[in-house]
Each structure stands twice: as C-alpha cells, then as structure tokens.
C-alpha cells in the first residue's frame, strides 16, 4: 500500500494504526538483517500508534494517520537515542524533538526508527557509519549511496513507506537515485533545521523520500513551512500536493556541462528517455550552460569542511556523548575526539581548519565564497532561459561496497551532480527513471529558489506518462 492509502485506511477505520505498524515490524524482522537500514527501532512506536487512534476518535484531522516514517539518525528525537552514526554521540538522548519530528507527530505519523548514515552525514555510501554499512536492497553487494543510505534503503525495500533524510551536498538525492526512490531537497529555508544536528549550516536541509509522488507530496506538505525556532526558515506555506494537479507547461533546460563526460550509458539513456517522454507531453526542452559547474565540487569541499571544522568543535568530551578523561581539559578533549570520531570526520575537520587558518583564509575559504557567488549567478542566467534544469542525479548507478573506501577523492566525485544545488540554495528532486543492469538510475530536476513545487508538477507528468513503471519495491524476497 502507498502511504496515502495507509493514511486513508486508518482514518476510515479499515485498518488500525497498530496493525499497520505490526505489518511493517514483521517485514523489518524478515528483511532488515540483510539490509541494515536501521540503527534502532523506536520502542515507543506501539504506544504512539495507539495514541493516533485515540486522536482520530477525538476527531482530529491527521493527514499522516498511522503512517510509519523512518527517520535519519541525525534528527533529534526526544527520548530516543540520536547518534549521527558516530561513537562520539553514542548514548546521546535528545531532550527535545526536531521541528520536522514534531510536525510528523502532529500529522499523526508514527516514528518507526532511526536510520543509518555516514558519520555526521559525511560521505556518499553510508560506509562511514561507525555501526556498519547499509546494503543496497537492489544488490546486497552494493552501497545504497549516502549519506541518507539507511532511509533510502528502507523506502526501497518497503521497510517504511516514507523516510526523512538530510541533504548537505546530495545526501537525500544521491541515495534516492541509487535505491530507485524519489528524493527531494527543498530550497534552503523551506524546511526547518531546528533539531537537525549541524554538519555545514549554510548547506544543510532536511529532505523527503518516498516511492510515489503523491506520497512524497503528502510527507513534504506535512513537515515544511515557517518555523519560529529556525531564523533561516522562509515564510512560505507548502503546496506540494496541489502542485501534482497543475499543468506541466514548462521549459526544461538540459545542463550541457553535466552531460559532457563521465556518465554511464544507462544514466545517459535514462536522461534521454526522460526528455522524450516529457516532450511527448508538450514540455519544451532547450540546452543551457552553467559554466562554473565544473568548480562546484572544489568549492563545495572548501565551504563544507570549513563549516564542519567550526560545527564539530562542540564535540569536546564535555557536554555530549563520549568522554575519555585525561589529566586536564585539553587531554580530555584530545582523547575523546581521537576515540570518538572516525577517519572521514577527522579528515574534514583537518581540511576545514587548514582552509580557515590565518594566511590561507583568503586563498581558500574566501575564494570558495566568490566561486559560490559566481555559481549562483550562472544558475540565474540559466533560469532566465528555462523554468527547470535537468542533470543526472549521479553519474553512475550504485557502486560496490568497498570500491571507493580507500580513495576519498573518488568518493567525493560521487557528488559531482548534486553539490551545486546546495551551494546555490536551490530546490531539487531525484526521480526514479530507469535501470542499468538491474540497478536503479535517477534523473535530477532543479528549480529557482522557492519554486520547489514546479519540480513535483513536472515529475508527475513523467510518472503518469510512464504509468509508474519505475516505482518498484526492490525485489528482496
Ligand atoms: N556526500 C556529500 C558529503 O560527503 C554530501 C553529504 C550530505 O549531503 N550530507 O559532504
């Protein structure tokens, strides 16, 4: 059943929220040992499902009534351990809910559990989790992508109908593409960051995942919108479900630089098929150029690591999680960080600290900020010619476990198509659009800031025209 069907069935009393939960828990029990999408399940899920039934009886309108949602483990959940897949936060139990969690609960959803990720959402494969990798449900020898790999795998294997992730440089969209589900990253500010563990604050956004657009829109409407607790949130109400009924009379710009080289055959073919299908629906296509796209990855890894070096300074063995006492404060800090943080997190703290250090600041961080501004200007120019832009989400389908672990640069290159969106603050959607040798492939659409809903309008035209051919549950039997 789709998530919207679950909500309808629970609301009309055809099935209870508890029964829905039971079905998902049984599926998880059967399949999760092979996938490892979750770090932990929510021990209070049963009680939460019962509470939903009481609220329905009391006449509350609950758009996500009884729908189980899997939540990435860098979103604070009150009373439920939140580790960011890091040893340093092991045992950390947040005293409050992130705004997105509060909104899920208000809408009647049931938090099913916390999903696996690369430590502090740094990576592209979920292999940098301190608690073991997640496997791709389409091929258990391959990665699910990252960093929201647990959320993407959970939705792909239907261990949860819906999931939340976070996207700092592609962490919702890239795993969504590699697992064959929808993944949406909104305009910076449309979803509250309150209670999201910070990675790079000028890039971080919560994003949504589902196996159909109707489900994705239902979830996105429920959690988006202004929040007084996040000063960067925008005063805009979400209209995602409504966008599914709008006519797709739009012009799509194919971004030349993203097709120049490096894409696998199946990825190129899926993009071309996407274009042909939508052209038959009356969508216009033009070619556009975003020249500074070639500098996006280098720019991203300077901005990202600089913000990391500052944000992660708070894990000092004093306030949260792991503390290994030394002779004095400095030694306690050094020991706790040495033992608590993994190699990729340390690498980024070092790179960011270097980029920000005196004498280098202008050459690295300052220059990256100027490149970021140029990228925004180039996108503005492209959007003068097209309403929406198209690129692949990832240059290849899922790679093998271990394949990129010894080469950080090749891991970073997995984000080549996604990071520019975060630098420019744009909304983007990864759409399941085909398969290459049995592995899912995604196409990425980007829109101007705050025109997020257009992505849903256009994607719906594709979903309808292809009769949902690409929306499948991974064949884990
Ligand atoms: N893969 C990118 C990185 O490692 C993006 C991460 C993310 O979006 N959280 O930084």
Torsional sign, CA 418, 300, 227, 235: negative
Identify the segments of the chain with pLDDT beneath 70: 477
Q: How far apart are CA 71 and CA 154, in angstroms?
A: 10
Q: Choose which residue among 121, 177, 306, 444 to substitute to test ligand 1 binding: the one with the highest number of ligand atoms within 8 A of its C-beta.
A: 121
**24 Cα: distance to centroid of ligand 1 (angstroms):** 29
Q: What is the 3-state secondary structure (H, E, C) of the chain?
A: CCHHHHHHHHHCCCCCHHHHHHHHHHHHHHHHHHHCCEEEECCCHHHHHHHHHHHHHCCCCCCCCCCEEEEECCECECCECCCCCCHHHCCCCCCCCCHHHHHHHHCCCEEEEEECCCHHHCCCCCCCCCCCCCCECCECCECCCCCCHHHHHHHHCCCCCEEEEEECCCCCHHHHHHHCCEEEECCCCCCCCCCECCCCCCCCEEEEEECCHHHHHHHHHHHCCCCCCCCCCCCCCCCHHHHCCCCCCCEEEEEHHHHCCCCCHHHHHHHHHHHHHHHHCCCEEEEECCHHHHHHHHHHHHHHHHHHHHHHHHCCCCCCCCCCCCCCHHHHHHHHHHHHCCHHHHHHHHHHHHHHCCCCCHHHHHHHHHHHHHHHHHHHHHHCCCCEEEEECCCCCCCECCCCCCCHHHHHHHHCCCHHHHHHCCCEEEEEEEEECCEEEEEEEEECCCCHHHHHHHHHHHHHHCCCCCCCCCCCC
Q: What pLDDT shows up at residue 91? A: 93
Q: How far apart are CA 317 and CA 89, in angstroms?
A: 10
Give the position, in ligand 1's atom list, of the atom nearest the Cα of 344: 4
Is the CB of residue 399 less than 8 Å from the CB of residue 125?
yes
Give the position, in ligand 1's atom list, of the atom nearest the Cα of 146: 1
CB under 6 Å to ligand 1: residues? 121-124, 147, 166-171, 199, 304, 415
Neighbours of 327 (CB within 10 A): 8
Q: Choose which residue among 85, 115, 122 to substitute to test ligand 1 binding: the one with the highest number of ligand atoms within 8 A of its C-beta.
A: 122
**343 Cα: distance to centroid of ligand 1 (angstroms):** 15
Copy the structure tokens of residue 344. Answer: 């990729």
> Which residues have a catalytic role annotated?
72, 171
Give the position, in ligand 1's atom list, of the atom nearest the Cα of 167: 8
Q: What pLDDT shows up at residue 355? A: 94
pTM over 0.75: yes
For the domain bounded by 3-249+391-465, which CATH number is listed? 3.90.1300.10
**6 Cα: distance to centroid of ligand 1 (angstroms):** 32
Q: Domain boundaries in the chain?
A: 3-249+391-465
Q: Choose which residue among 415, 418, 420, 422 to substitute to test ligand 1 binding: the one with the highest number of ligand atoms within 8 A of its C-beta.
A: 415
Q: How far apart are CA 427 and CA 168, in angstroms?
A: 12
**364 Cα: distance to centroid of ligand 1 (angstroms):** 19
Q: What pLDDT shows up at residue 477? A: 58
**60 Cα: distance to centroid of ligand 1 (angstroms):** 38
Q: What pLDDT shows up at residue 155? A: 98
Copy the structure tokens of residue 137. Answer: 């449900």
Q: What pLDDT shows up at residue 320? A: 82
């Amino acid at each position: 059943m789709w998530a919207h069907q679950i909500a309808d069935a629970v609301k009309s009393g055809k099935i209870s929220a508890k029964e829905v939960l039971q079905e998902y828990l049984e599926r998880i029990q059967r399949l999760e040992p092979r996938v490892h999408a979750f770090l932990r399940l929510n021990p209070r899920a049963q009680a939460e499902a019962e509470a939903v039934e009481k609220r329905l009886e009391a006449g509350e309108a609950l758009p996500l009534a009884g729908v189980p949602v899997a939540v990435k483990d860098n979103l604070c959940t009150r009373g439920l351990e939140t580790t960011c897949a890091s040893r340093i936060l092991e045992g950390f139990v947040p005293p409050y809910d992130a705004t997105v969690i509060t909104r899920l609960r208000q809408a009647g959803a049931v938090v099913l559990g916390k999903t696996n990720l690369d430590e502090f959402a740094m990576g592209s494969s979920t292999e940098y989790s301190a608690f073991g990798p997640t496997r791709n449900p389409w091929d258990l020898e391959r990665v699910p992508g990252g960093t929201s790999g647990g959320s993407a795998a959970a939705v792909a294997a239907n261990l949860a109908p819906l999931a939340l992730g976070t996207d700092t440089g592609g962490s919702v969209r890239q795993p969504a593409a590699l697992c064959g589900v929808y993944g949406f990253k909104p305009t910076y500010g449309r979803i509250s960051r309150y209670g999201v563990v910070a990675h790079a604050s000028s890039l971080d956004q919560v994003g949504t995942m589902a196996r159909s657009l109707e489900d994705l829109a239902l979830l996105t409407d429920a959690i988006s919108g202004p929040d007084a607790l996040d000063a960067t949130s925008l005063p805009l109400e979400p209209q995602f479900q409504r966008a599914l009924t709008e006519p797709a009379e739009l012009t799509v710009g194919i971004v030349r630089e993203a097709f120049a080289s490096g894409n696998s055959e199946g990825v190129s073919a899926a993009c071309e098929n996407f274009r042909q299908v939508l052209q038959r629906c009356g969508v216009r296509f033009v070619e556009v150029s975003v020249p500074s796209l070639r500098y996006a990855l280098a720019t991203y890894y300077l901005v990202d690591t600089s913000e990391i070096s500052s944000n992660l300074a708070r894990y000092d063995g004093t306030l949260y999680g792991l503390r290994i006492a030394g002779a004095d404060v400095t030694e306690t800090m050094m020991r706790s960080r040495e033992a608590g943080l993994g190699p990729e997190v340390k690498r980024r703290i070092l790179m960011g600290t270097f980029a920000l250090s005196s004498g280098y600041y202008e050459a690295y961080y300052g220059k990256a900020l100027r490149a970021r501004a140029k990228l925004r200007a180039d996108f503005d120019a492209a959007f003068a010619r097209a309403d929406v832009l198209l690129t692949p989400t990832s240059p290849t389908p899922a790679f093998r476990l271990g394949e990129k672990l010894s080469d950080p640069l090749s891991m970073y290159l997995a984000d080549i198509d996604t990071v520019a969106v975060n630098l420019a603050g744009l909304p983007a959607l990864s759409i399941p659009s085909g398969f290459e040798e049995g592995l899912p492939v995604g196409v990425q659409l980007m829109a101007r800031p705050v025109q997020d809903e257009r992505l849903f309008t256009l994607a719906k035209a594709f979903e309808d025209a292809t009769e949902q051919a690409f929306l499948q549950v991974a064949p884990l039997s």
